[in-house]
Amino acid sequence: MARTIKYRGYPADLSIVATDDFEQRELVRNRFRRLFSELMKGEILRNSFLPWEIDILLDFEACELPSRRRLEILRQYQRAVERQLETDQGPPMLLSHFLVLRERRRVASSATEVVTE
């Protein structure tokens, strides 16, 4: 007596792949939050880092922020990375990249204001 195999029309591990992507994004998000928290406190409490965390630390040291707006800019950076990690699985953007994007938006909006006046 031969058995027939029922084909369900989709791979059995489809949900596992989606879950793995979600878990990976959550791991990156949690590591970023921990690193960012340590940076804001001015005290790094660990000695083990992923390569992208080292890149963020070095970039953070290289960026010069105006002292009076430093906290505001860093909060904007944190929100931008949180938005990025909602959709992207890759490493968080660097602070320097965020500052370039921020400046481009500022220039574009001021150019728009000049044209409309």
Give the distance, in angstroms, between the CA of residue 57 and the centroid of all CA atoms in the same chain.
Answer: 14
Q: Is residue 100 part of a domain?
A: yes
78: its two tokens: 């944190």
Instruction: Please tell me the number of Cα atoms within 13 Å of 63 on its side-chain side.
Output: 20
Helix or strand run (H / E) with residue 58: helix 51-62
Q: Total structural domains in the chain?
A: 1
Q: What is the pLDDT of residue 84?
A: 93
Q: Is residue 112 part of a domain?
A: yes
Residue 3 has pLDDT above 90, yes or no: no
Q: Is residue 80 part of a domain?
A: yes
Alpha-carbon distance of 90 to 97, in angstroms, equals 14
Task: Give the mean pLDDT of 76-92.
Answer: 91
Q: Is residue 108 part of a domain?
A: yes
Using 50, 70 and 90 to split pLDDT, how confident is the model at 99?
Answer: very high
Number of residues written out for the chain: 117
Alpha-carbon distance of 31 to 25, in angstroms, equals 10
Q: Is residue 76 part of a domain?
A: yes
Q: Is residue 70 part of a domain?
A: yes
Range of the domain at 107: 15-116
Q: Is residue 2 part of a domain?
A: no
